[in-house]
Amino acid sequence: MNKDATPPSRTAGSQTLARGLAVLRLVTEAADGLSPAEVAAAADVHRTVAYRILNTLCDAQMLHRGSDGRYRGAAGLLPLAAAGHQHLRTAALPLLREAADELGITVSLLVREADIAVVSPRHGTYHVAFSEGSHHPITQGAAGLALQAAEPERATDSEQIRDVRKLGYAQTFGQVEENMHGLAVPLKLGAGQPFACLNAITVREQHAADSAKTLQRIGAELSRTIRI
Q: What is the pLDDT of residues 48-83, one digit of tens each?
A: 999 999 999 999 999 999 999 999 999 888 777 777
18-27's contacts with Cβ under 8 Å and 24+ in sequence apart are 19/43, 19/45, 19/49, 19/53, 20/53, 20/56, 20/57, 23/50, 23/53, 23/54, 23/57, 24/57, 24/62, 24/63, 25/191, 25/192, 27/54, 27/57, 27/63, 27/71, 27/72, 27/73
Bridge partners (DSSP) listed for residue 25? none
pLDDT higher than threshold 90 for residue 167: yes
Stretch 30-50: mean pLDDT: 92
Stretch 106-134: mean pLDDT: 67
User: What confidence score (pLDDT) does residue 37 get?
Assistant: 95
- Mean pLDDT lowest among 83-87, 133-137, 210-214, 217-221: 133-137
Dist. CA 144–CA 102, nearest whole Å: 24
With a threshold of 0.85, does the pTM exceed it? no
Taken in order 58, 71, 67, 55, the sign of the CA dihedral is: negative
User: What confidence score (pLDDT) does residue 223 get?
Assistant: 87
pLDDT higher than threshold 50 for residue 124: yes
Q: 36, 73, 28, 80: which is closest to 54 by C-alpha?
A: 36
**Crossing angle for the helix pair 159-167 and 141-150, to the nearest 10 degrees:** 80
Stretch 93-102: mean pLDDT: 91
3-state SS, residue 195: coil
Stretch 83-107: mean pLDDT: 87
Q: Please, what is the average pLDDT of the chain?
A: 83
Stretch 154-179: mean pLDDT: 89
Bridge partners (DSSP) listed for residue 197? 110, 186
